[in-house]
A and B are shown apart, each in its own frame.
Chain A
Amino acid sequence: MAKGFVSIAAERCKGCGFCVEFCPTRVLVLSSAFNSTGYHPPHVVAAEKCSGCDLCGMYCPDFAIFGGRYAR
């Protein structure tokens, strides 16, 4: 069971890849799909590994992604 979640607003993403590169548990990859502005937004490949640290949210220059922990 994953400890946390990430929420991605793909339409706001500019595909810089900061979240993919700096995710400590490697939850994300850049998808091959495009958003309407022509960038490749990230998508979740290892949901169970997410710790909800919100480092992706700290790095995202476009405010398009954030993480959080599930309430126990």
Chain B
Amino acid sequence: MIETTLDIPADARNPVEPFLRMERMPHIWCAGCGIGTTVNCFTRALLKSKANLDKVAVVSGIGCTGRVAGYARLDSFHTTHGRAIPFATGLKLANPELQVVVYSGDGDLFAIGGNHFIHAARRNMDLKVICVNNMIYAMTGGQTAPTTPLEALTSTAPYGVSEPAFNLVSLAEAAGACYVARWTTYHVMQLSRSMEEALGKKGFCFIEVLSPCPTLYQRRNRMGDGLDAMKYYKEASKIRHGAPTSECSLSKSGEIVVGKFVDRERPDYCELLRAQMCQSLGERYAEPEVVCSR
């Protein structure tokens, strides 16, 4: 049922297709979910950054966003719950030539894997962390996550959440990330540019992407569907580059501050380790040999 009145050139192909395992489509994400939109932005960023795709690895944890690793036609790994960052750390140390991208959700990165996140940021591991924040544990049935805003209704908080939520960008900056940005799925061009910028930067880069969860978050809170969430992002978001991250916390229906908050240089883990080994071993230090199949 492909119907259109336009003349489509015979060689026209969807620019996303070379990056995805199209044989696994349609994907499992709900109608109106924004994860697919973030994948679009990521593929455009990869395309523009002209990265060698044999040297890009995607690591995901468990959850709706964790499925990205399964759909990406790259070297990808779907790890155990919360352990995407430790796996990615090992991958990066074993083969420093790889561009390692951690693509996971808020529950996986900040609840189950919260400790790993802060320590990878503290060490400044050369990882690009993309966190799709849908403000809830979506795959398991809509339980309260550490990112669920106050007063939101979830399946484990039927009278409203009473605990304050994490401010992810502030946490990332305090832990020592080199690059911190926040966008929503409405800001596709900005998000794609931000991902491109992070891919070209050395050190721990963190990008938070707010995404609708129509099935569990929006529906339970009577906030409409995915499209209503996108309209809310359009109206409520203010672009403030370099804003102090402590003032950028999220609420259920308040203003969303988006933009690039932190862009700084810090020596990364491999560099510091090498400097320390050179200093203590002197001439006896030998560069580790990396043997890859390609």
A interface residue numbers (CB < 8 A to B): 2, 5-12, 14-18, 21-22, 33, 35-37, 39, 41, 43-44, 47, 50, 54-55, 57-63, 66, 68, 70-71
Q: Are A66 and B5 in contact (CB under 8 A)?
A: no
Cβ-defined contact, B231 with A5, below 8 A: no
Partner of B4, one of A12, A17, A43, A57: A43
B150 within 8 A of A: no
Smallest Cβ distance from B67 to chain A, in angstroms? 12
Q: Given A63-B14, A66-B15, A47 and B34 touching (CB < 8 A)?
A: no
Size class of the contact patch on chain B? 35 or more
Q: Is the interface of B mostly helix, strand, loop or mixed?
A: loop
Q: Taking CB as reference atom, which chain B residue is nearest A36?
A: B1
The total number of A-B Cβ pairs within 8 Å is 110
Is the pair B26, A21 in contact by a Cβ cutoff of 8 Å? no
Q: A66's closest neighbor in chain B, by CB?
A: B14
Cβ B25 vs Cβ A16 within 8 A: no
Bound CA–CA A33/B33 (angstroms): 22
Q: Pick the contact of B31: A10, A16, A44 (CB < 8 A).
A: A16
- Complex Cα distance, B2 from A28, in Å, reads 14
Residues in A with CB closer than 8 Å to B44 are: 58
